Amino acid sequence: MQGPARRLLLNPDFDEAVAPFETRRTMGYYANPYRKRISEYEKVLLYAQPSPDWIPGGLGLGGWTGKFAGGRGAWENYFTEARCSDWFAFRDPGSRWEQPYVKEKAEEWREAQRFMESSAAERLFDDIDPEWAGVINRYFGAFVNHEYGLFMAHASVVRDTFTDVLRVAAGTGALDHLDTAQMIQAQRMFLAQLRDDVVDDLAPAKAAWLEDPALQGARTAVERLWGESYDPVETLFGLYMVYEPLFGRFARREFFHHHAGLHGDHFTARTMWSALRAGDAAARWNFDLFERVLAGDPRYAAYNVKVMRLWAETWLPVTLAAMAGFVRLWESTGRLRAASAGPEAAARRVVGDWLAAYAPAFGWEADADDLVAEVLR
């Protein structure tokens, strides 16, 4: 039997079968891929990542040339109470960065334009209940201020986060809120051209945002997220792990989206769809940050869970107070007052979803009936 063929060299002393150093047919990446192969998202955001050398997971490039007044460095470990063995482990599962984000938003706006043009031709705006038109003017318009406030709450977060992967995720979250505000105002301007009882002026909406008891709790929450939270990771936690999945869904999904159709409004539900999509995208990357990276950190997991529970004790009462004030809107029209499903059913759905999906991420335990009672007090 003939043996395996051998390559003959000029010098027979070196004609030996040598085992390769590596038999795996994989690439040697400069960053740990989130999945099997490195993605375009990771190539864009991780190819050059400067960071302070005292942050675990940093590249150790040394000090910074620029400092704030008083001597504070550009980035410091004490910026957040959270601790992480490797801040670069975070990934946005949606892989959203500038190019795919802009493409997605352009598609949403083109679809919104087509919807508005066709709905105008079909005179769908005639179906809107006049009482609900007042809700659009006052309360739905007030959400322009609400969303803009949440957009601005990201300002220090985007500035102070340690890595580009987290900075871009927070930036897309901020722009989603700004885009929702623009979508709401675009709808109001469109309807104002077609109906006499809808106005595009933001004055009544601003008055509701500043003065109406139904929105007082939401305004307080937004102001605190924007102006009183100096820890960028805590701001993200309070906003996306507590406030958005509770008050955000209570207002956007349970009130505006679900009840627009009850009043013959085909437009508000369509506008809210982009906001619901944004909320889902934000939930994905926040679970990666708070559940997988921080609560799953090999060194600081137990500590981070304790910190997140302390944060929840701060932001949960604020959020429940915002929901309690918003309950008044279920009395704003005759159709809502006559509807069989009131705010209690909506509150139970939202609280149940939060307790099932979000609270376990940081070991929070609470009774659903107690939380719903706080909303309906």
63-67, 201-205, 280-284, 332-336: least confident range: 63-67
Average pLDDT in the 290-301 region?
A: 95
Residues in CB range of 198: below 8 A, 6 or more apart: 128, 133, 136, 137, 188, 191, 192
Compute the mean pLDDT over every residue in the chain, rounded to the nearest whole number: 87
Return the number of other C-beta atoms located less than 10 Å from residue 237's C-beta: 26
Average pLDDT in the 306-312 region?
A: 97
Alpha-carbon distances, residue 327 vs 244, 311, 369 (angstroms)? 16, 25, 16
**Assigned token pair, 302:** 């137990």
Which phi and psi (to 5°) does residue 77 adopt? Answer: -65, -30
**DSSP H or E stretch at residue 282:** helix 267-287
Residues in CB range of 58: below 8 A, 6 or more apart: 51, 52, 87, 162
Span 238-273, pLDDT tens digits: 999 999 999 999 999 999 999 999 999 999 999 999
Average pLDDT in the 204-224 region?
A: 96
155-159, 231-235, 356-360: least confident range: 155-159
Res. 364 pLDDT band, cuts 50 70 90? very high
Residue 60 pLDDT greater than 50, yes or no: no
Residue 236 pLDDT greater than 50, yes or no: yes
pTM score of the predicted model: 0.86
Q: By C-alpha distance, which of 200, 201, 204, 242 is closest to 221?
A: 242
> Between these two residues, 37 and 367, which has the higher pLDDT value?
367
The pLDDT assigned to 181 comes to 95
Average pLDDT in the 193-222 region?
A: 94
Residue 366 pLDDT greater than 70, yes or no: yes
Res. 308 pLDDT band, cuts 50 70 90? very high
The pLDDT assigned to 195 comes to 92
Domains of the chain: 94-375 (1.10.620.20)
Alpha-carbon distances, residue 253 vs 16, 209, 327, 373 (angstroms)? 71, 19, 14, 20
242 with 315: CB under 8 angstroms?
A: yes
Compute the 3-state secondary structure of the chain and give helix, strand, coil in percent, each to the nearest 5.
Answer: 65, 0, 35
The pLDDT assigned to 62 comes to 45
